[in-house]
Structure 1
Amino acid sequence: MTEVLFYHLQGRTIEQVLPPLLEKSLARGWRVVVQAGSEERADALDGHLWTYRDDSFLPHATWRVPDAPQQPILLTAEDSNPNAASVRFLLDSAALPADAESYDRMVLLFDGDDDDAVAMARDAWKQCKARGFDVTYWQADAEGRWQRRQ
C-alpha cells in the first residue's frame, strides 16, 4: 500500500526541509524522484542541493541528463519516473501522479502560509484517502523536529 506523508511547512522553506529528508531516503537505500512545479524550480533545487551544506553530498541530477535512469535522486517537473524510484516527493502544489499506486511512499511538502497550497493539500489528502492510501500528517514542533499530528 502506498504511504503518503503530508509535511506542513511553517516558518521553514522547501530548501531547508528537503535536503535532510532526501538524506534520510538515501540512507534507507531508496531511489527518489522529486517533482517540482516548474522546470525553473527543478533547476534551482538542482543548484541548491550541490551547495546547501559544505560537509554533505547528495548524489542527484535532473531529468535532462542522459544517465537519469541511474540517478538515486532525480529532480523533474514532469509526471514521470525515469529512475524507477519507489519514493516520490511532490513540491509546489504538484499533483498526485497518475501512477501513485506504484510508489511505496509519496511525500507532499506544502507551505502552511499559502492558502492555495493548503487547499491543494486538503484535496490531495481526500484523494489519497479515497484511493485507500495510508496517509499521515506531519508538522514541526518549536525545536524544528517533525511530529506526527492527528
Structure 2
Amino acid sequence: MGSAYFYHLTTGSVEQTLPMLLEKSRGAGWLVEVRGVDRGAMERLDNALWAGPPEGFLPHGMVGGDHDADQPILLITGETASNGANCVMSVHGAVVSPQEVKDAQRVCVLFDGYDEEALSAARVQWKTLTDAGCSAQYWSQDSGRWEMKAEK
C-alpha cells in the first residue's frame, strides 16, 4: 500500500518543484503519471520540462502519443495512464482516489499555497484519503526548505 504526500508550495511553482519530485521518483525506479485537469496547463508543464537543463533531462511525454506505454513519465488530463505508472503526481487540483493511493507506491499532491481554491481542494483531498484509511504526509516549504508538518 502506498502513501499520499501533500506538497504545499509557497516558495516555488509546480513547474519549479515537479522536476525534483520526478527525479526522485525515477531514482526509485517508478513509472510516473502526472495528472492535471486542463490540457493547456499540462502542455505548458510539458514545455517547462523540455526546457529544463540538459543534465536534468526527464524523459516524458503527453498522453495521446504513439509511445504512451513506453513513457517513464506520462502527463495526462483525466485519462487513465497507459504507462503502468506506480506513482501518481496530482497537479492543478486533479483528484486522486483512495484506491489509487492503495494501489500506487506513492501519490504526490502538489498545490499552490497562495491559492485559496487550491488550498481548499487539497484539504478535501487530505480528508477524503485519510478518512478512507490512506497513509498521508503533509509537507510545507514555509521555512524555505521542505519540512513534514503532519502525518496520518
The interval holding the TM-score normalised by the smaller chain is: over 0.9
Offset, 1:24: 0.8
Offset, 1:2: 2.5
Offset, 1:4: 0.2
What is the total number of aligned residue pairs between the two structures? 149
Does structure 1 retain, via aligned residues, the 8 Å contact 2:98–2:134?
no
Does structure 2 retain, via aligned residues, the 8 Å contact 1:87–1:104?
yes
Does structure 2 retain, via aligned residues, the 8 Å contact 1:70–1:83?
yes
Tell me the amino acid that sits aligned with residue 37 of structure 1.
V
2-structure distance, mates of 1:83, 1:92: 21
Offset, 1:141: 4.7
Provide, for residues 102-148 of structure 1, a one-character-per-residue CA deviation record: whole Å limited to 9, x for no partner. 21211000111111111111100111011111000001153x32111
Aligned-residue CA RMSD in angstroms?
1.4
Q: For residues 141 and 11 of structure 1, do their structure 2 counterparts lie closer, same or farther at Cα, with a shift above 3 Å needed?
A: closer
Q: Which residue of 1 aligns with 2:137?
A: 136
Q: Which residue of 1 aligns with 2:36?
A: 36
3-state SS in 2 of match to 1:85: coil
2-structure distance, mates of 1:90, 1:27: 19
Offset, 1:76: 0.7
Provide, for residues 49-86 of structure 1, a one-character-per-residue CA deviation record: whole Å limited to 9, x for no partner. 11122422101001111110111000011241211100
Q: For residues 79 and 99 of structure 1, do their structure 2 counterparts lie closer, same or farther at Cα, with a shift above 3 Å needed?
A: farther
Tell me the amino acid that sits aligned with residue 94 of structure 1.
A
Q: For residues 124 and 105 of structure 1, do their structure 2 counterparts lie closer, same or farther at Cα, with a shift above 3 Å needed?
A: same
Offset, 1:11: 2.8
Does structure 1 retain, via aligned residues, the 8 Å contact 2:98–2:132?
no
Q: Which residue of 2 aligns with 1:11?
A: 11
Q: For residues 120 and 67 of structure 1, do their structure 2 counterparts lie closer, same or farther at Cα, with a shift above 3 Å needed?
A: same
Q: Which residue of 2 aligns with 1:20?
A: 20
**TM-score normalised to structure 1 length:** 0.93
Offset, 1:41: 1.2
Does structure 2 retain, via aligned residues, the 8 Å contact 1:9–1:111?
yes
1-structure distance, mates of 2:28, 2:57: 16
Residue 98 of structure 2 corresponds to residue 104 of structure 1: no
User: Where do 5+ consecutive residues of structure 2 fail to align?
Assistant: none
Tell me the amino acid that sits aligned with residue 108 of structure 2.
V
3-state SS in 2 of match to 1:55: helix
3-state SS in 2 of match to 1:108: strand
Q: Which residue of 2 aligns with 1:68?
A: 68
Q: Which residue of 2 aligns with 1:114?
A: 115
User: Where do 5+ consecutive residues of structure 1 fail to align?
Assistant: none
